[in-house]
Structures are given as structure tokens and as C-alpha cells.
Structure 1
Amino acid sequence: MEDSIFTKIIKGEIPCHKIYEDEYTFAFLDIHPIQPGQVLVVPKTQIATVWDMPPDEYHHFMDTVLRIGKRLCEVYPDKAKVGLMIEGLEVDHVHAKLFAFSTGEEYRRLPDIAEQPDQSALAREAEKIRIT
């Protein structure tokens, strides 16, 4: 299987704004966020869907999702909720998207993927969210 873009990010072949890493998972900022500070959590093992994950890897993955979600609540206390989507659509590597939001409009916002990411804004958000 060819490495996914997420596997390449984990390996350091593609730069990212890393938020958290442990033995099983890797979390980094999405360059096309629905809301500022959107984090992607991926298992280090390239698995297509959450349903294909072995139970122990699934539990580690969800533990990291919980940790990142709580961190977003701390960093964005003015937001009412943290959204969670688990995907494997455009990238054949299961991933969770987490982002803070207050309104349905903020939740449903679609990012402009043609727009170049603002790396300095991403770096500022990463600094606020990073778990060391």
C-alpha cells in the first residue's frame, strides 16, 4: 500500500504543525480548517476505516481524540462545543477532525481548499493548543 499523506506527515516527509504524538497516534493542525484550531488525529498505523482498527488501536485512538477535545475546550472557552468527525474519505487513512464552534453556521462552514494556508496563523494556533 502506498503511504497516505498522513503517513508521510507522521514520517516527517511533509511538514505540519504538530499538536501531540504518542506511540500510537499523531495529532496536527488541519491546513484547511472548518474553524481555526481544527486538529486532525490519526493512528500511526495506516488503516482505511475506524471499523478496520484492532480494538487496542481503536481505544488508543479514541483516548487521544478525547484528550485533544478536552484541550480544545480549554483553549477556546468562548466556544460552546467541540465538533468531532471521524473520516477516511478523501484520504484512505482513518482520521478524526476536532474543532471548536458555537453556532450551526460555524459547524457547517466549508473551508476553501483552493486558498493557501496561512502558516503563521497555523503556527500561532498550534502554539496555543500543543500538548507537551
Structure 2
Amino acid sequence: MTAAYDPQNIFAKILRGEIPAHRVYEDAHTLAFMDVMPQGEGHTLVIPKAPARGLLDASPESLAAVAATVQRVARAVKTAFAADGLTVFQYNEPAGGQTVFHLHVHILPRFDGVALGRHTGGMADGAVLADHAARVRAALDAG
């Protein structure tokens, strides 16, 4: 049995403006922002605004909105970082690797010959994240 959604999770706090984030895109249903513990340059997260612990308890409408935002933001991330490709992934429950229990999708620009970094738990420099967010926003604005 899956545990209940906890409205005090860090992503819910980001949505409420209680914790700052380097936001790159927002619409009525989703928010995209830089991962503060990136596995690579440009690591971006997309979350639904509707409460959902993971993939299995999200509404179909919320999943559709997340998918559309993932595609839009992934294009911008790839452009902003001149990436050779992308890795997009999503974890569910502790056994599946999930550590923040609000549905979220990871977007990572990838480069030929460069291994994916580890999620070490170390926080990235805020100035670097701000720069990365600005690059993604500029790519979104350019279309």
C-alpha cells in the first residue's frame, strides 16, 4: 500500500513559495525548476501543481500536463546546453529510487562520452543554478 501524500514535502513548499527555487517555466498545471542537487549541468525538474505522491496516484489530466511541460522544457534544456541528447526519468516509491514524494520528472542534458553524475546530496552553487535557469528560460522564450 502506498503512503498518503504529505503536503509538507519540499516540492509542495516550493509550489507555495515557502522555499525558493530557480524556476524556468510555470503554467496553470505545472512548474519546472532547476534541481538543487544536479546530476549534471542543466538538470531540471518538472512537477504537477496538483498533489500527487507519484505516477500511480496522479490524475490522467495532471499526467498529461506534466508530459506536455516535460517535452517543452526538454527541448529548451537541450538547446540551452547544446546537448547531444537527453535523459528523462521518473522514480516511484523508495524501492524505485524516489526520495521526494511529490511526482516529479527529471530532465538531464547529455553529452557524448560524458557519464551521468551521481545524486550525491551536495547542493549546487546558487549562482550557477541561476545562470542555468536563465539559459533555459532564454531558450524557452526563443521558441
TM-score (norm: length of structure 2): 0.83
Structure 1 outlier segments of 4+, above 2 Å = 103-107
Secondary structure at the counterpart of residue 13 of structure 1: coil
Instruction: Give the structure 2 partner of residue 98 of structure 1.
Output: 107
Shift of 1:67: 0.4
Is there any run of 5+ residues in structure 2 with no aligned partner, and where?
1-5, 93-97
Instruction: Give the structure 1 partner of residue 136 of structure 2.
Output: 129
**What do the CA deviations read for 1:28-53 (whole angstroms, capped 9, x no partner)?**
00011111111010001121111222
Aligned residues between the structures: 129
- Of 46-55 and 27-36, more deviation after overlay is shown by 46-55
Secondary structure at the counterpart of residue 87 of structure 1: coil
Q: What is the letter of the counterpart of residue 105 of structure 2?
A: A
CA contact (8 A) 1:26 1:43 kept: yes
Shift of 1:73: 1.7
Secondary structure at the counterpart of residue 112 of structure 1: coil
Instruction: Give the structure 2 partner of residue 119 of structure 1.
Output: 126
Instruction: Give the structure 2 partner of residue 87 of structure 1.
Output: 91
- Partner Cα distance (1:96, 1:56) in 2: 16
Of the three residues 36, 40, 55, the one matched with 1:31 is: 36
- Partner Cα distance (2:91, 2:45) in 1: 10
Q: Against the structure 1 CA distance between its residues 20 and 112, is the aligned structure 2 distance closer, same or farther, given a 3 Å change threshold?
A: same
Question: Identity rate of aligned residues, in percent?
Answer: 28
- Partner Cα distance (1:62, 1:98) in 2: 12
Secondary structure at the counterpart of residue 41 of structure 1: strand
Instruction: Give the structure 2 partner of residue 74 of structure 1.
Output: 79
Secondary structure at the counterpart of residue 84 of structure 1: strand
Is there any run of 5+ residues in structure 1 with no aligned partner, and where?
none
Instruction: Give the structure 1 partner of residue 18 of structure 2.
Output: 13
* RMSD (CA atoms): 1.6
Q: What is the letter of the counterpart of residue 99 of structure 1?
A: L
Q: What is the letter of the counterpart of residue 110 of structure 2?
A: F
